[in-house]
């Protein structure tokens, strides 16, 4: 194996740069030429790729985003477009490919692994943590800490003014961020896509909670079934007259920022392991973590199944909230 190409695709996440750095440094360690592909699959189609050197990955381990850039390339779903992309890799004598991304990226990678004849390894890079085959995705820990920091700040003003904040966090299909942010920030309630919400219960809880504590934090995953924090306030406000209800949508600050130590270490281990797997002749695998170990799952399985949060955390929240 003489050349390994790498790309980041789909939604960016903190820690992608640490993964890029680890792939490049491990390639150079083995005297393999790393080829960076810009802007995900789009760069593969447009042959936008370059030989990476040590200097390209100096001082990036602590930075958010991705130095390679990312994009959504819908044309990649067409076989003819993928053929152009594969030809570009073959023309550049690429012997292996590492993709960093989420579900969509792995769907593309899994098709490539069967069509291309060049082995592919995937690294889970998404803040949502919803990828099957790993306890943690690269970026989730950082995003969760960003969310908690923001909630702590909102809590200060919520308690000063006796307000009820509905804080919307990312998680269109999975409630990992919302549920664990609720536990870690001591939130009064949480709404996640995996649970049908009971608005009457929520109203009662806010009323009861406010007998002893005059502010509340309700965490709302963007994909929960009522349609988000603003919609939710519209629905419950007639039942909560006299309460000061405020929506806050945290938005894209959740994707950015310097990766946590956890994400940097995870990304470095996974990135280096990806090169080892390619050297070992492996193809069509995604790297995941299980406890302190790195494991692999086929890309095909990783895209078919999904990770769901531990709903026992809801019971834990309830115990933390009960006031007799
Ligand atoms: P993520 O990887 O974060 O889930 P997307 O869902 O946007 O992000 O997917 C990233 C990219 O993966 C898409 O822009 C597209 O290039 C590629 N992709 C997604 N689905 C497919 C598919 N069914 N076939 C081929 N490529 C796909």
pLDDT digits 0-9 by tens, 148-185: 999 999 999 888 888 999 999 999 999 999 999 999 99
Binning pLDDT at 50, 70 and 90, where does residue 208 land? confident
**Paired tokens of 283:** 């193809």
User: In this structure, are 266 and 134 located in the same domain?
Assistant: yes
User: In this structure, are 118 and 208 located in the same domain?
Assistant: no
Question: Does residue 123 surpass a pLDDT of 90?
Answer: yes
Position 210 scores a pLDDT of 60
Binning pLDDT at 50, 70 and 90, where does residue 209 land? confident
pTM equals 0.95
User: In this structure, are 7 and 135 located in the same domain?
Assistant: yes
**CATH number, residue 26:** 3.40.50.450
User: In this structure, are 125 and 153 located in the same domain?
Assistant: no
Q: Is residue 320 part of a domain?
A: no
Q: Is residue 178 part of a domain?
A: yes
DSSP code for 48: -
pLDDT digits 0-9 by tens, 281-306: 999 999 999 999 999 999 999 999 99
In terms of residues, how long is the chain?
A: 324
Ligand 1-lining residues (CB < 6 angstroms): 9-11, 41, 72-74, 76-77, 101-105, 107-108, 111, 126
User: In this structure, are 107 and 219 located in the same domain?
Assistant: no
Question: Does residue 323 surpass a pLDDT of 80?
Answer: no
Q: Which of 66, 104, 130, 303 to mutate to test the pocket of ligand 1 (most atoms within 8 A of CB)?
A: 104
User: In this structure, are 170 and 100 located in the same domain?
Assistant: no
Give catalytic residues, as residue numbers: 128
Q: What is the mean pLDDT of residues 268-287?
A: 98
Q: Which of 311, 317, 303, 319 is nearest to 120 (CA)?
A: 303
Phi, psi for residue 316 in degrees, rounded to 5 = -60, -45
**CATH number, residue 201:** 3.40.50.460
User: In this structure, are 290 and 234 located in the same domain?
Assistant: no
Range of the domain at 291: 3-139+259-304
Position 295 scores a pLDDT of 98
Q: Which of 237, 302, 255 is nearest to 106 (CA)?
A: 302
Q: Is residue 311 part of a domain?
A: no
Q: Is residue 312 part of a domain?
A: no
User: In this structure, are 61 and 91 located in the same domain?
Assistant: yes
The separation between the first and the last C-alpha atoms of the chain, rounded to the nearest angstrom, is 66
Q: Write down which residue in 255, 280, 315 finishes a domain.
A: 255
User: In this structure, are 127 and 147 located in the same domain?
Assistant: no
- Tally of structural domains, the chain: 2
Nearest residue (by CA) to ligand 1, atom 24, is 77
User: In this structure, are 248 and 185 located in the same domain?
Assistant: yes
Question: Does residue 237 surpass a pLDDT of 70?
Answer: yes
**Percent share of the chain, pLDDT over 90:** 85
User: In this structure, are 148 and 95 located in the same domain?
Assistant: no
The residue ranking higher by pLDDT, 321 or 93, is 93
């Amino acid at each position: 194996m003489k050349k390994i190409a790498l790309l980041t695709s789909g939604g960016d996440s903190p820690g992608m740069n640490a993964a890029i750095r680890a792939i490049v440094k491990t390639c150079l360690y083995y005297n393999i030429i790393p080829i960076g592909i810009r802007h995900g699959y789009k760069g593969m189609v447009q042959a936008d790729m370059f030989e990476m050197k040590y200097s390209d990955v100096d001082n990036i381990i602590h930075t958010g985003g991705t130095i390679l850039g990312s994009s959504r390339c819908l044309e990649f779903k067409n076989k003819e477009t993928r053929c152009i992309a594969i030809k570009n890799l073959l023309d550049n004598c690429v012997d292996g490919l590492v993709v960093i991304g989420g579900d969509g990226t792995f769907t593309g990678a899994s098709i490539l692994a069967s069509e291309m004849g060049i082995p592919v390894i995937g690294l889970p890079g998404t803040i949502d943590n919803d990828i099957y085959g790993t306890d943690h995705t690269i970026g989730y820990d950082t995003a969760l800490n960003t969310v908690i920091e923001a909630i702590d700040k909102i809590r200060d003003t919520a308690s000063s003014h006796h307000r009820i904040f509905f804080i919307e966090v990312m998680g269109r299909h999975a409630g990992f961020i919302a549920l664990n942010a609720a536990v870690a920030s001591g939130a009064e309630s949480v709404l996640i896509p995996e649970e049908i919400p009971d608005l009457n219960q929520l109203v009662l809880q806010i009323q009861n909670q406010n007998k002893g504590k005059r502010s509340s934090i309700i965490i709302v995953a963007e994909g929960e079934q009522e349609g988000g924090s603003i919609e939710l306030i519209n629905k419950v406000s007639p039942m909560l007259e006299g309460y000061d209800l405020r929506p806050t949508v945290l938005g894209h600050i959740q994707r950015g920022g310097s990766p946590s130590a956890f994400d940097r270490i995870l990304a470095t281990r996974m990135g280096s392991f990806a090169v080892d797997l390619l050297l070992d002749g492996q193809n069509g695998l995604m790297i995941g973590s299980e406890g302190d170990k790195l494991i692999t799952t086929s890309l095909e399985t990783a895209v078919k199944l999904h990770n769901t949060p531990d709903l026992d955390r809801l019971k834990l929240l309830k115990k933390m909230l009960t006031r007799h």
